[in-house]
Chains A and B, each alone.
Chain A
Amino acid sequence: ETGVTQTPRHLVMGMTNKKSLKCEQHLGHNAMYWYKQSAKKPLELMFVYNFKEQTENNSVPSRFSPECPNSSHLFLHLHTLQPEDSALYLCASSSGQGMAGDGYTFGSGTRLTVV
């Protein structure tokens, strides 16, 4: 356990389904992140939340909808996905103080397969 918990670990969904990924941390961190890792590609930053406010959206399609109800929880709502959206989705957290001297803590990820 890293301190960042992601559920589910694996998810298979059809292109017309709606599902949500959940991320939870109790490390006292104030920043949370969603990353996407496709096969043989670097991790791509999708969304950044600082103190529950979205501060970055890296041109992510609207079929991915993040939600951050509090500093400890982060969701990624999925709807009408495409097969190319199949990937490992990783959540991370950090202090959010901008000190650059703190590390990120990552969850183990959700392996998503869109069929």
Chain B
Amino acid sequence: DAKTTQPNSMESNEEEPVHLPCNHSTISGTDYIHWYRQLPSQGPEYVIHGLTSNVNNRMASLAIAEDRKSSTLILHRATLRDAAVYYCILVRFGNEKLTFGTGTRLTIIP
């Protein structure tokens, strides 16, 4: 399975945008880029996913590099409730298996 690399931790101020990076240099053409987050004492929660084009939904935006070797999850205006561990995961077409890494622990500073 293709791997992803994320910073262990990041901090951001409340009400400011947050850009969470992910590197996936060995991504294959049939790998989707998925993002999940895990709030304290809860199971992971789906955030967003994409294949080639940038994607927006009510939670976040996903910016995918043209060569697809990296992506960035964008939280447009962070709140304290966005403090969580964020996981960037590659999911291959035909195989829905989710393999989690260590993710990025996002701390929001009031």
Measured between beta carbons, the chain B residues less than 8 angstroms from A31 are 96
Q: Are A45 and B43 in contact, with the CB atoms below 8 A?
A: no
Could you tell me the dominant secondary structure of chain A's interface residues?
loop
User: Which of B15-23, B75-83, B98-106 has 4 or more CB atoms under 8 Å from chain A?
Assistant: B98-106
Q: Are B96 and A94 in contact, with the CB atoms below 8 A?
A: yes
Q: Are A98 and B98 in contact, with the CB atoms below 8 A?
A: no
User: Which of A13-21, A67-75, A78-86, A100-108 has 4 or more CB atoms under 8 Å from chain B?
Assistant: A100-108
**Residue among B41, B91, B101 with most chain A CB within 10 A:** B91
Q: Which of A33, A98, A103 contacts B95 (CB 8 A)?
A: A98
Q: Are A99 and B93 in contact, with the CB atoms below 8 A?
A: yes
Give the distance to chain A from B99, nearest Cβ to Cβ, in Å. Answer: 7
Measured between beta carbons, the chain B residues less than 8 angstroms from A95 are 96
Give the distance to chain B from A49, nearest Cβ to Cβ, in Å. Answer: 12
Could you tell me the dominant secondary structure of chain B's interface residues?
loop
* Chain B interface category by residue count: 20 to 34
0/1 per residue, B25-52, Cβ < 8 Å to A?
0000011101010000111111001010
Q: Are B98 and A45 in contact, with the CB atoms below 8 A?
A: yes
Q: Which of B44, B94, B103 contacts A100 (CB 8 A)?
A: B94
- Return the chain B residue nearest A97 by Cβ: B96
In Å, the complex CA distance between A35 and B91 comes to 17
Measured between beta carbons, the chain B residues less than 8 angstroms from A99 are 93, 96
Q: Which of A4, A100, A107, A109 contacts B92 (CB 8 A)?
A: A100
Given the known interface contacts A98-B93, A98-B94, A100-B32, the answer about A45 and B99 at a Cβ–Cβ threshold of 8 Å is: yes
0/1 per residue, B44-81, Cβ < 8 Å to A?
11100101000000000000000000000000000000
Chain B interfacial positions (CB closer than 8 Å to A): 30-32, 34, 36, 41-46, 49, 51, 91-103
